[in-house]
Chain A
């Protein structure tokens, strides 16, 4: 059974940093692109970042470029999101999502971890 379990969320002050993790199991982690998607309270889904199988292709939404860094450790079957210079508007539930075979659909999602940026 495919499982994605996010951790690392919490309360942080504006300008602070946080590192999210996503532990993957039940599939060959190194065979799949991975994504981070977030959802602000009461709002829609927003794609944040994606990384290819080996970490050689990485892309970010404009809203987080230069502040967030996505990475992965295939040996540990884990995905990460380092978030620096956090802003109030980064407050959201952050989901990790596995890309399916075509790479464009996200066929498994974690339950999310809440990041709250507030003074």
Chain B
């Protein structure tokens, strides 16, 4: 099955912009979804279908995709955005789903 590769950790100053990337062959065929998970809580969908936000997700979250890479950008990062972020997509050629290992975002 395919893999999705994410950087393990990234830090960002309060109010600045951070981009998290996710690379994998399956992203050439399927859009990534992005999930935010805070300690002790269930994941929350923040971006899907490249750049759609569910209701209630602030517009500082945006997504993009090119080739085998999907990106999640947080513009004007807030303290409450500190969390783990996981990308996910369907595995190309199968009916499986695959997650990236997650990126821990620390807000300084």
Contacts and interface: CB of A to CB of B under 8 A. Distances in A.
B48 interface: yes
Contacts of B12: none
A61 B95 CA distance: 9
Contacts of B96: 47, 59, 61-62
Given A45-B43, A45-B86, A112-B42, A107 B99 contact: no
Interface stretch (A10-18, A67-75, A76-84, A98-106): A98-106
Interface string A22-59: 00000000000001010000001111001000000101
A95 B40 CA distance: 13
Interface residues on B, range: 20 to 34
Contacts of B42: 95, 109-112
Contacts of B54: 100, 107
Interface of A: 35, 37, 44-47, 50, 57, 59, 61-62, 95, 97, 100, 102, 104-112
Contacts of B43: 37, 45, 95, 97, 106, 109
Contacts of A105: 33, 45, 48-49
A50 B35 CA distance: 18
B99 A102 contact: no
B49 A47 contact: no
Nearest to B43: A109
A110 B90 CA distance: 21
Contact of B98 (A47, A50, A100, A112): A47
Interface in B12-62: 30-31, 33, 35, 37, 41-45, 48-49, 54
